[in-house]
């Protein structure tokens, strides 16, 4: 039997720390880029709204209203 993958849109509260895990991703609603929440190097979305600074251990968005936090859930 195959596992079912479900994408959940996490309600992100502006001004709080962004969640980080292997199953968490950030999507820019402006350019539709999707970034891993825990990359091995610095990453930015195409339009520059979302940035992840690995060395400083932080991530953020210039316009938080254009940021979606997505999580992949695996169900049997």
Amino acid 48: pLDDT:
96
Mind listing the pLDDT tens digit for each residue in 24-34? 999 999 999 99
The vertex-9 CA angle with 73 and 48, nearest 5°, equals 115
How far is 66 from 75, CA to CA, in rounded Å? 29
Phi, psi of 48 (to 5 degrees): 85, 5
pLDDT category of residue 62 using cuts at 50, 70 and 90: very high
CB count in 10 Å sphere of residue 70: 15
Residue 14 pLDDT > 90: no
How far apart, in whole angstroms, are the C-alpha atoms of residue 11 and residue 19?
11
């Amino acid at each position: 039997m195959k596992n079912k993958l479900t994408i959940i849109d996490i309600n992100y509260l502006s001004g709080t720390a962004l969640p980080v895990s292997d199953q968490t991703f950030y999507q820019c609603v402006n350019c539709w880029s999707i970034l891993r929440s825990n990359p091995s190097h610095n990453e930015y979305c195409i339009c520059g709204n979302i940035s992840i600074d690995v060395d400083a251990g932080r991530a953020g968005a210039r316009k938080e209203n254009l940021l979606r936090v997505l999580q992949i859930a695996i169900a049997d």
